[in-house]
């Protein structure tokens, strides 16, 4: 089992990826729900960010440092930096706070100074708002956004024919690396007869809302 299939299995085992009927922000009834916020203990965060590190190394995407947008991106960027260092790739990292601090070190950025090619680390891309804000912060510091690393690409249309991931790639001209995608989820379900009902539901959802290959 490759990294993506292993990740899907891990997300299901931990209850982070669930099946049923869930209403999305777009008002769609989705047969599955992924909530990275449920990776909420040391062991699960350790495994999660190890998957992030493996996906980044497999993508062979050149970058000089990592950036985690507040708030979900903060533990993700720190954990991914640790996981990469354990694999022999030691990168500086930085994250932001939502409100500027007017005492101590001040400002909105914490960690290494934003410089060079900066990879944004987040959980998922929904509307692309977090990526847009991150790109603005990186540019304001004189650095260059070089890509986005996320856990799951749902591969479904946004307002138009493109997915949220495709919209980010088109708007900012940067690649998006996902640990796993909807295709990986379908492959996982297809190998488990006991989950056949969920496979059909997810397949129908993709037929209705999925992006064109």
Cβ(20)–Cβ(33) below 8 Å: yes
Cβ(61)–Cβ(148) below 8 Å: no
- The continuous run of DSSP H or E covering 149 comes out as strand 144-153
- In this structure, what token pair is assigned to residue 101? 């601090």
Closest by Cα among 116, 118, 97, 93 to 106: 97
Q: Is 139 a catalytic residue?
A: no
d(CA 103, CA 154): 41
Q: Is 103 a catalytic residue?
A: yes
Closest by Cα among 95, 148, 146, 89 to 122: 148
- Annotated catalytic residue within 98, 103, 212, 213: 103
d(CA 101, CA 167): 32
Cβ(119)–Cβ(67) below 8 Å: yes
Please name the residues in contact with 41: beta carbons below 8 A apart, sequence gap of 6 or more. Answer: none
d(CA 161, CA 153): 15
d(CA 194, CA 109): 47
Catalytic amino acids? Answer: 101, 103
């Amino acid at each position: 089992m490759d990294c993506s299939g292993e990740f899907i299995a891990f997300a299901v085992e931990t209850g982070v990826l669930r099946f049923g009927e869930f209403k999305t922000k777009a008002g769609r009834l989705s047969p599955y729900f992924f909530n990275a916020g449920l990776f909420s203990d040391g062991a699960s965060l350790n495994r999660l960010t190890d998957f992030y590190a493996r996906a980044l190394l497999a993508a062979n995407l050149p970058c000089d440092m990592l950036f985690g947008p507040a708030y979900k991106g903060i533990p993700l960027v720190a954990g991914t930096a640790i996981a990469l260092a354990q694999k022999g790739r030691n990168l500086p990292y930085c994250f932001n706070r939502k409100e500027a601090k007017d005492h101590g070190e001040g400002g909105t950025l914490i960690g290494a100074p934003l410089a060079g090619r900066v990879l944004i680390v987040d959980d998922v891309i929904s509307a692309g708002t977090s990526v847009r804000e991150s790109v603005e912060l990186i540019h304001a510091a004189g650095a260059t956004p070089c890509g986005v690393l996320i856990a799951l690409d749902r591969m479904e249309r946004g307002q138009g024919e493109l997915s949220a991931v495709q919209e980010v790639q088109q708007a900012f001209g940067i690649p998006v690396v996902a640990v796993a995608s909807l295709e990986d989820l379908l492959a996982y379900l297809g190998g488990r007869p006991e989950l056949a009902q969920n496979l059909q539901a997810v397949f129908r959802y993709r037929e209705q809302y999925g992006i064109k290959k």
